[in-house]
Amino acid sequence: ETGVTQSPTHLIKTRGQQVTLRCSSQSGHNTVSWYQQALGQGPQFIFQYYREEENGRGNFPPRFSGLQFPNYSSELNVNALELDDSALYLCASSLAETQYFGPGTRLLVL
């Protein structure tokens, strides 16, 4: 186990709704990265937070947003959900170069 936890484990939403996913990083890790993993594909980088600031973003629209809290836990928010947002959402925490992943949240958009 990596010590990275995510909630909820599974979630079903309908198109147009909003969703918030949560991640608790491994103790002492000040950097959290979020990834989207569609079925049969590798994780795609969404964005990264370092000490409560977004310091990098992948090719995802602004309706994907996030937060990092003083205890380094993090949230991923997705507005105006689309069917293609159905995926496994992974967070990874790190202190140095190696990222440690949580189990993910499986999101299904109907």
**R_g of the chain computed on alpha carbons:** 13
Binds another protein by CB under 8 A, chosen from 48, 68, 74, 93: 48
Which residue spans within 4-43 are E strands per DSSP? Answer: 5-7, 10-13, 19-24, 31-37
Based on CB atoms, which residue is closest to another protein, 66 or 102? 102
Strands of the 74-78 sheet, one edge to the other? 5-7, 19-24, 74-78, 64-68
Listed ranges 14-22, 42-50, 65-73, 74-82: which one lies at the site for another protein (CB under 8 A)? 42-50
Cβ–Cβ contacts within 10 Å for residue 6, how many?
19
Based on CB atoms, which residue is closest to another protein, 81 or 90? 90
CB of 73 to another protein, least distance (A): 16
Q: Is 66 in the site for another protein (CB under 8 A)?
A: no
Which of positions 71-100 make contact with another protein (CB under 8 A)? 90, 92, 97-100
